[in-house]
Amino acid sequence: MIRKTIKECPECASKNIYRDVEKGETVCRDCGLVIEDRMVDFSQEWRDFDEDGGGASKRRTGAPSSETSFDRGLGTEVGTAADVYKLSSNKDRDRFNRLRKWNIRISTAIERNLKVALAELKRVSSFLKLPKSVEEEAARIYRLAVQKGLVRGRSMESVVAGALYAACRRHEVPRTLDEMGEASGIEKKEIGRTYRFVTRELEISIKPSNPADYIPRFASALKLTPESQSKAVEILEMARDIELTSGRGPTGIAAAALYVASLIHGEKRTQREVADVAGVTEVTIRNRYKELIKRLKLSKIVEKSKKK
């Protein structure tokens, strides 16, 4: 059964909203937004325990909906105002209206939450100077997360940070977890956790990040010339071809490539300097550096450049 609802689409403000009762979905026919993806099954709420009750003594079972259904009913609309007249008894009508009222209250709470969350998202995003497209992607992800009730048990801020991190990765403008942590004030452990959780639950697939994506930002932070920068990218490509990059942290490899490039071009940076901007330790750079030199046979070139 498909029915028109009296709802207004939060996305495009159209009133062309229809609900598919079987699938438990409410969809905007103008912009395609799925307004809800879960529906509370009210048929379980009242059960007749009396053998001869004839429906007169229906009781509720289980905990009240205010405790159990608060998040599960997220974004659910309980029928329409017109539905109330289909119910026979006054008692049922009262209950119906109560539930409906409850639901409206919850919906506005969600919208309030979304507003606050989007403000936070905007703040963090501008702090990191992220492009608009990433910000919008993150907002989309967050909205989906709320609709699926994934924010439960997590702080709103951490989900925002996780959504932003995911959006960055998708748009191939990765930020490190450290940077995200600094911008949002959330521990990077926590961000990583929610990031993994949200992407898994929403089935968002993300390619493993490419170390080369980090190069431009790190290079400019180190004030390296464009020549060194492209040299670093070149090194990365060679490293990738012999599968030196897989399995390792992308930032460590990017940092090592930059370090080598800086040596070759005679504008040396210390391991510590490179380590700081890349957010890894010197040790990691050393390990990657050793591998690069060995496997790519760069030792001669580096030696030569050192003497000059």
Partner DNA sequence: AAGACGAAAGTGGTTGA
Partner DNA sequence: TCAACAACTTTCGTCTT
Residues at the contact surface with DNA, assessed by CB under 7 A: 189, 192-193, 196, 247-249, 252, 268, 270-272, 279-284, 286-290
Nearest-5° angle of CA 20, CA 21, CA 26? 45
Nearer to DNA, 74 or 191 (CB): 191
Residue at 189: amino acid letter? K
Residue at 220: amino acid letter? S
Q: Residue 147 Cβ, how far from DNA at the closest point, in Å?
A: 24
Nearer to DNA, 42 or 197 (CB): 197
Q: Residue 272 Cβ, how far from DNA at the closest point, in Å?
A: 6
Q: Residue 273 Cβ, how far from DNA at the closest point, in Å?
A: 8
SS (H, E, C) the chain: CEEECCCCCCCCCCCCEEEECCCCEEEECCCCCEEECCCCCHHHCEECCCCCCCCCCCEECCCCHHHHCCCCCCCCCCCCHHHHHHCCCHHHHHHHHHHHHHHHHHHHHHHHHHHHHHHHHHHHHHHCCCCHHHHHHHHHHHHHHHHCCCCCCCCHHHHHHHHHHHHHHHCCCCCCHHHHHHHHCCCHHHHHHHHHHHHHHCCCCCCCCCHHHHHHHHHHHCCCCHHHHHHHHHHHHHHHHCCCCCCCCHHHHHHHHHHHHHHHCCCCCCHHHHHHHHCCCHHHHHHHHHHHHHHHCCHHHHHHHHHC
Q: Residue 155 Cβ, how far from DNA at the closest point, in Å?
A: 16
Nearer to DNA, 72 or 240 (CB): 240
Nearer to DNA, 39 or 263 (CB): 263
Q: Residue 154 Cβ, how far from DNA at the closest point, in Å?
A: 14
Nearer to DNA, 216 or 249 (CB): 249
Nearer to DNA, 73 or 162 (CB): 162
Nearer to DNA, 9 or 145 (CB): 145
Q: Residue 291 Cβ, how far from DNA at the closest point, in Å?
A: 10
Q: Residue 270 Cβ, how far from DNA at the closest point, in Å?
A: 3
